[in-house]
Amino acid sequence: MTGHARRTPRVAVLYDLGSATPNDILAGAHRLCEIVFVADFDRPGAAAARAAMLDLAEVVDVTGLDAQERLRLLADAAVDGVVTFSEYRLAETAWLAQGLGLPYHDVELIPALVDKLVQRRILAEAGVQATRCAVIGDDPAEALERVGVPAVIKPRIGAGSLHTTRVDSAEEFLATAAARPAGMEFVAEELLEGDPRVAGEFWGDYVSVESVHTPAASRQVCITGKFALAEPFRETGMLLPATLPPEATAEVLTLEAAAVRALDIAHGVTHTEIKLTSDGPRIIEVNGRLGGYVPEILRRATGINLVRVALEVALGREPRIPAPRHRGVTYQYFLTPPAVAGTLTSVSGVAELAGLPGVRNVETHAEPGRLVDWREGTQSHLGVVYGSAPDHDALRTVAESINATFRPAFASSVGAGA
């Protein structure tokens, strides 16, 4: 008796700077699918991972090709799903998925996921949340008049708090607007004032909600807690479980679900950042892809692999996602430099970090001579400490020890207000 072997499904992953490395993606695909990396090596994020991708899996090189040529190559590759873990490849992934007849975010949805102004308008029109937001054009005073101060000035399209600045006066607003980088469009938004009492005085005044969406249902996987932001808006790490009391937890989940419905998200994984204010939770932004650093901490805390889940969803499957169960507190703590722009000259304390209670691994990229610029947002950090603690009080003690132990030095610096 003879039969045909079942073909292993293939998923195309448009690769760029994002929330999963080539190794993460291959590990998530184990015994599920074959990975076909799609890479434009003119993009720095793809170029940096070129060797790893070529060593690990099949790579479709689309460098220099137009959209139709890229679509033809993927059709020839006979892929069964397409996905990206990069904010910068969402639009192209949606367009290719549509051309291939594969499930992904609708092309029409992408502006609402990547354009901060469009997303704010949709959430306001749906009655979910009205947030003052305006494009900073040739006359920044117009945006100032519409938004007021305090405010946040940020790229209209971007990720990782890149070039994101708080302004507290009209003078600061106009000076920051005048100094914004060329070639990028910026928006001004009203500042969402956090209330540190919601999550606790030591912890961040914001959280994120990780959710999975298929035509059958939207499922909220977890609320990810945060450490307090470094000036001006740089993430310093995350923790599971979060420190929210039950009432605040329910309010956060209700708001996130309302935002998902308003945006009509029906496919993939989302990462929604939510500010904890004295008037209740407020949407910071809804991201149409897996959040940065989230896969590692969630997998270590609960065993849930959201990279694998995203690949399953890309194949049109209904993933099985167990309810998270926690033993103690799992964390990632970023080695965040002060709000400077300068050259790193030395760093001390790295060896001692590994000896702190519960520390599992210390990853550093704090090489002397490295240029560090706070305007790069989350990308400016100098490493990550991975570990776990028995409870939140114990974690606070470890975090304070990390801050006291890790000491970078700079030759010269320019403060965040400059």
What's the rounded mean pLDDT across residues 348-361?
96
At residue 377, the pLDDT reads 64
**Residue 216 pLDDT > 90:** yes
For the chain, report the end-to-end CA distance as a whole number of angstroms: 76
Q: What is the pLDDT of residue 1?
A: 43
Residue 414 has pLDDT above 60, yes or no: no
Q: Is the pLDDT of residue 341 over 80?
A: no
Average pLDDT rounded to a whole number, residues 100-118: 97
pLDDT at 393 over 60: yes
Across 70-216, the runs of DSSP E, i.e. the strands, are 81-84, 133-135, 151-155, 165-167, 186-190, 206-214
Q: Does domain 327-413 have CATH number 3.30.470.20?
A: no
Fold of 10-110: Rossmann fold (3.40.50)
Q: Out of 2.40.30.10, 3.40.50.10800, 3.40.50.10860, 3.30.1490.20, which CATH number does the structure's domain 132-190 have?
A: 3.30.1490.20
Give how far Cα 341 sits from Cα of 142, 358, 384, Å. 30, 32, 20
Average confidence (pLDDT) over 272-288: 97
What is the C-alpha to C-alpha distance for residues 304 and 300, in angstroms, rounded to an integer? 8
Average pLDDT of every residue of the chain: 93
What is the CATH T-level fold of the domain 193-326, as seen in this structure?
D-amino Acid Aminotransferase; Chain A, domain 1 (3.30.470)
Residues 196-209, mean pLDDT to the nearest whole number:
97
Instruction: State residue 125's pLDDT score.
Output: 98
One-letter amino acid identity for 261?
R
pLDDT of residue 416: 47
Bridge-partner residues for 13, per DSSP? 37, 83
Q: What are phi and psi of 151, to 5 degrees?
A: -145, 170
Q: Is the pLDDT of residue 3 over 60?
A: no
Strands, DSSP E only, in 296-358? 329-334, 341-348
Q: Where do the domains of the chain lie?
A: 10-110, 132-190, 193-326, 327-413
CB atoms within 10 A of CB 27: 15
DSSP 350-366: HHHHTTSTTEEEEEE--
Question: What's residue 164's pLDDT?
Answer: 86
pLDDT, tens digit, 9 for 90 and up, residues 19-63: 899 999 999 999 999 999 999 999 999 999 999 999 999 999 999
Q: Given this model, what pLDDT does residue 32 score?
A: 98
Q: What does pTM read for this prediction?
A: 0.93
Q: Per-residue pLDDT for 413 more than 70?
A: no
